[in-house]
Amino acid sequence: MYRVNYTARLLTHVLAPLLTFDCHSDRYLYKTAKSLPWEKLISLDTTFAIEANVSGSRIRHSQYAAQKLKDAIADRFREISGKRPDVDPRNPDLWLNLYVHNNKATISAETSGGSLHRRGYRVASVAAPMQETVAAAIIKYSGWKGERPFYDPMCGSGTLLAEALMHACRVPAGYLREKFGFMRLPDFEEGLWKKVKRDCNKQIKPITPGLLRGSDISGDAVEAAKENLQRLPGGEQVKISKRPFQKIDSLKDTVIICNPPYGMRSKNTREAGALLDEFGKFLKERCGGAAAYIYLGNKKLIKDIYLQSSWKKPINSGGLNGYLVKYKIR
Ligand SMILES: C[S@@+](CC[C@H](N)C(=O)[O-])C[C@H]1O[C@@H](n2cnc3c(N)ncnc32)[C@H](O)[C@@H]1O
């Protein structure tokens, strides 16, 4: 696996030692930031944006701090060349992070180019999609590596299926990402990057047809899951159908991973509990020899599955204090 640490090189060569500095006022932030050689890092055709985080400091507002840093960069460029690079707050070529803590500022360049949980395969969604990285963590916790059949009986937009596919077939997490922040850094070597990418992609394995399957009661969810899976290599081999789990004949000796509806409001929680009761019976009666890993977004729901669990792991995500629970079905 390659790990190209452009930030480290950047900090040493371009901006050090001023990247971390005392910062007791917005004026000092502006003045120090303006003295940095931004023209060595950002070219006029590079768009940039700033994400700021401020705590325990005289500067109190993150957005204001970001604005000051943006002004400093823009003013420096204007003074040097009469022009300035554009700010693109949504999809910039380069994200800069400003962190002010206890009156010390740190500025760093974000080399990923946006949050890495966005893999890029989710083009269609459903009401409560799971975050890609949470799904990836669940697959890892389950220990599944592609040796036994896998089934998600409430697949929604197919996130668990997509992450299972990527895991078993060694599809790199950034496979679909076309733009990384490090591509706009001055020492970016396109040839080296292409080689790294080629080498990683060569390790992608074909998927055994029928290894991964899923279903959902909702036709829209099934369509979304198919569309998303198709973006990944081997995704067309994942069998997805519209059907309630109550209509699945059997899932014997299968690894079952899913996240059933968890119900945010109390009426929905009661409904979610009743559905889990039914799901527990389905596992017991029709899934002999299976291992089931159920992610429940609400701890109270664990008691609704009347089965003895092997283990429970807390997984917090997106404001949910969820649990992944393993059941071994005899
Ligand atoms: C929390 S969502 C799953 C989200 C999914 N993991 C994703 O990333 O998009 C729960 C799913 O369970 C489905 N569902 C609810 N009742 C069902 C049933 N009886 N049989 C099958 N699927 C059901 C819903 O349609 C919904 O897509």
Q: Among residues of the chain, what percentage have pLDDT more than 90? A: 76
Residue nearest to atom 13 of ligand 1 (CA): 154
Report pLDDT digits (tens) over 67-102. Answer: 999 999 999 999 999 999 999 998 898 899 999 999
Let me know whether 104 and 47 are in one domain.
Answer: yes
How far, in Å, are 277, 291, 293, 296, 325 from residue 307 at the CA level? 10, 12, 12, 14, 11
Looking up residue 273, the CATH number of its domain turns out to be: 3.40.50.150
In a domain? residue 125: no
The answer to whether residues 42 and 75 touch, using CB atoms and an 8 Å cutoff, is no
Let me know whether 48 and 154 are in one domain.
Answer: no
Ligand 1 centroid – CA 222 distance (Å): 10
The answer on pLDDT for 246 being more than 50 is yes
| Mean pLDDT of the 33-59 span | 93
The answer on pLDDT for 269 being more than 80 is no
Residue nearest to atom 1 of ligand 1 (CA): 261
How far, in Å, are 35, 41, 129, 196, 298 from residue 28 at the CA level? 11, 21, 44, 41, 47
Let me know whether 18 and 90 are in one domain.
Answer: yes
Looking up residue 11, the CATH number of its domain turns out to be: 3.30.2130.30
Per the structure, the count of domains in the chain is 2
Atom in ligand 1 nearest the alpha carbon of residue 260:
10
Residue nearest to atom 5 of ligand 1 (CA): 156
Let me know whether 215 and 102 are in one domain.
Answer: no
Confidence of residue 13 (pLDDT cuts 50, 70, 90): low
Ligand 1 centroid – CA 149 distance (Å): 20
3-state secondary structure 164-184: HHHHHHCCCCCCCCCCCHHHH
Let me know whether 142 and 51 are in one domain.
Answer: no
Let me know whether 22 and 138 are in one domain.
Answer: no
Residue nearest to atom 20 of ligand 1 (CA): 244
Q: Which of 150, 217, 279 to mutate to test the pocket of ligand 1 (most atoms within 8 A of CB)?
A: 217
Q: Which domain holds residue 90?
A: 6-110
Let me know whether 79 and 136 are in one domain.
Answer: no
Amino acid at 99: Y
Q: Among residues of the chain, what percentage have pLDDT more than 70? A: 93
The answer on pLDDT for 5 being more than 80 is no
Report pLDDT digits (tens) over 113-138. Answer: 777 888 999 999 888 889 999 999 99
Residue ranges lining ligand 1, Cβ < 6 Å = 126, 128-130, 153-154, 156-157, 159-160, 216-218, 221, 244-246, 259-261, 275
Let me know whether 139 and 45 are in one domain.
Answer: no
